[in-house]
């Protein structure tokens, strides 16, 4: 068995900057192995037209393993590995697997260039892209090229993955999803529940045994508007409408003041929401604010009450001890006006903040901490 790398996929994105690959991404490499085997079988049958199927033990000796992680974002070195005692994978058989690898890379390049993908891969094999790259986020991609060759790398992005899935003509496709909503129904006999999303749609989901207690607690708190956050695999139809959850990996009951959930609720507003005159906050601005709060507002800090303002902005409000604190946020200019009022003395403090600047978030954090510490003394 040769010692040269079979493939060296390079993972690019913020999660890979420490030269490490998250475990959830490793599932993509397992799918890649499956895909290479199936494409190799198709290549074999193309060459042996007298056969209806590949040899029974055609891929018995084929296995990929991670040999090392190189620098350069994160580069996984995939080596060929033969099972002990296997003699079925000879040098001539390797050509089918190498050809399959190269065809997958060429198909990704063809999708990038809007060329005919089926020139490189049978359409039935395109369905593997439904699972390959499912864990990639929008700012991430995988670069692929045959090892030890000087040629342009294929960039496998979430957008390219979706294009290849559409070309496969499968009726449904899957995506990793993060959802927020309320558990409105629960069927303990069939171990399923109905999740009512914040935007109103209801979808069915299975109940993994390890999450049964959490699902039951959220269902029992439905009348109290208890919200949950769920991460899992969502199934979509050809019109890109989410139809159900195939599986659920994580679930947690959210704090009543959860920032992401509240901002998602506000996303449902439309112009005229406030007595016919209110302007709906811009969607991109709400998403930006959600990211900023996730990255720069500590988890152990008190959560604000969040309200839309008629001019298309957002207001945060806190009541800490005898202080009323408000933050009026301009989502377009990414600025804010902070106002602190002492209810006992009527003393006021005001400050203009540029929320695109880390210093503004540091000021807000430190000021709230000072107030909390004072109240605790």
Backbone angles phi, psi at 302, to 5 degrees: -65, 135
Global pTM value = 0.83
Residue 142 clears pLDDT 70, i.e. is over it: yes
- Tally of domains within the chain: 3
Tell me: do 29 and 136 sit in the same domain: yes
Residue 79 clears pLDDT 80, i.e. is over it: yes
Residue 87 clears pLDDT 70, i.e. is over it: no
Task: Return the H-helix or E-strand segment holding 164.
Answer: helix 158-167
Top-confidence residue, 258 or 66? 258
Tell me: do 84 and 206 sit in the same domain: no
Tell me: do 272 and 322 sit in the same domain: yes
d(CA 269, CA 311): 13
What integer pLDDT is reported at residue 77 of this predicted model?
Answer: 87
Tell me: do 42 and 128 sit in the same domain: yes
Residue 5 within any structural domain of the chain:
no
Tell me: do 14 and 160 sit in the same domain: yes
CB 233 within 8 A of CB 258: no
Residue 336 clears pLDDT 80, i.e. is over it: yes
Residue 226 clears pLDDT 90, i.e. is over it: yes
Tell me: do 242 and 263 sit in the same domain: no
User: Tokens in use for 85?
Assistant: 């005692």
Residue 3 within any structural domain of the chain:
no
- Residues sharing a CB contact under 8 Å with residue 111, sequence separation 6 or more, in sequence order: 117, 160, 163, 164, 167
Residue 71 clears pLDDT 80, i.e. is over it: no
Tell me: do 148 and 201 sit in the same domain: no
What number of CA atoms fall less than 13 Å from residue 205's CA on the CB side? 34
Domain end: 169, 187, 220, which one?
169
Structure confidence at residue 161 as a pLDDT band (50, 70, 90): very high
What number of CA atoms fall less than 13 Å from residue 129's CA on the CB side? 28
Residue 300 within any structural domain of the chain:
yes
CB under 8 A, 24+ apart: contacts of 349-358: 353/327, 355/292, 355/329, 358/296
d(CA 321, CA 118): 66
- Please state the rounded mean pLDDT for residues 291-304: 94
**Which residue, 163, 143, 164, 139, is CA-closest to 74?**
143
**Which residue, 239, 229, 241, is CA-closest to 198?**
229
- Residues sharing a CB contact under 8 Å with residue 372, sequence separation 6 or more, in sequence order: 302, 320
Residue 339 within any structural domain of the chain:
yes
Domain end: 147, 169, 191, which one?
169
Report the DSSP beta bridge partners of residue 104: none
Q: Which of 20-24, 57-61, 87-91, 266-270 ranks highest by mean pLDDT?
A: 266-270
What integer pLDDT is reported at residue 85 of this predicted model?
Answer: 47
- Please state the rounded mean pLDDT for residues 84-109: 78
- Residue written as tokens 């769920």? 230
Residue 147 clears pLDDT 70, i.e. is over it: yes
Tell me: do 84 and 122 sit in the same domain: yes
Q: Which domain holds residue 309?
A: 259-376
Other Cβ atoms less than 10 A from the Cβ of 62: the count is 23
What integer pLDDT is reported at residue 181 of this predicted model?
Answer: 97
Give the three-class secondary structure for 309: coil
Residue 90 clears pLDDT 60, i.e. is over it: no
Domain end: 137, 169, 201, which one?
169
- Please state the rounded mean pLDDT for residues 298-313: 95
CA distances from 357 to 91, 132, 191, 285 (A): 59, 37, 48, 16
């Amino acid at each position: 068995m040769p010692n040269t790398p079979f493939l060296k996929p390079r993972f690019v994105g913020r999660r890979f900057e420490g030269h490490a690959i998250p475990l959830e991404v490793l599932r993509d490499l397992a799918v890649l192995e499956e895909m290479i085997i199936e494409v190799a079988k198709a290549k074999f049958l193309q060459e042996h037209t007298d056969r209806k199927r590949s040899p029974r033990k055609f891929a018995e000796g084929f296995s990929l393993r991670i040999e090392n992680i190189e620098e350069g974002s994160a580069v996984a070195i995939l080596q060929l590995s033969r099972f002990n005692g296997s003699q079925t994978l000879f040098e001539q058989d390797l050509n089918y697997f190498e050809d399959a690898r190269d065809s997958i890379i060429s198909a990704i390049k063809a999708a990038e260039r809007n060329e005919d993908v089926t020139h490189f891969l049978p359409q039935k094999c395109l369905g593997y892209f439904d699972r390959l790259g499912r864990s990639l986020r929008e700012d991430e991609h995988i670069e692929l090229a045959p090892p030890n060759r000087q040629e342009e790398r294929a960039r496998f992005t979430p957008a390219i993955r979706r294009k290849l899935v559409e070309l496969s003509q499968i009726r449904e496709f899957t995506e990793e999803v993060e959802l927020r909503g309320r558990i409105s129904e629960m069927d303990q006999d069939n171990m399923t529940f109905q999740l009512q999303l914040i935007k109103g749609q209801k979808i069915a989901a299975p109940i993994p045994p390890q999450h049964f207690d959490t699902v039951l607690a959220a269902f029992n708190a439905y009348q109290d508007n208890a919200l949950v956050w769920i991460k899992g695999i969502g199934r979509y139809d050809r019109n890109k409408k989410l139809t159900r959850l195939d599986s659920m990996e994580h679930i947690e009951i959210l704090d009543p003041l959860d920032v992401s959930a509240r901002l998602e609720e506000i996303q449902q507003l439309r112009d005229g929401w406030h007595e016919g005159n209110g302007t709906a906050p811009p969607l991109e601005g709400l998403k930006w604010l959600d990211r900023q709060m996730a990255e720069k507002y500590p988890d152990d800090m008190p959560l604000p009450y969040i309200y839309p303002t008629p001019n298309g902005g957002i207001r945060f409000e806190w009541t800490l001890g005898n202080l009323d604190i408000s933050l009026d946020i301009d989502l377009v200019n990414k600025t804010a006006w902070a106002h602190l009022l002492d209810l006992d003395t009527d003393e006021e403090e005001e400050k203009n903040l540029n929320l695109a600047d880390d210093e503004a978030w540091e000021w807000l954090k430190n000021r709230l901490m000072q107030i909390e510490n004072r109240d605790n003394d």
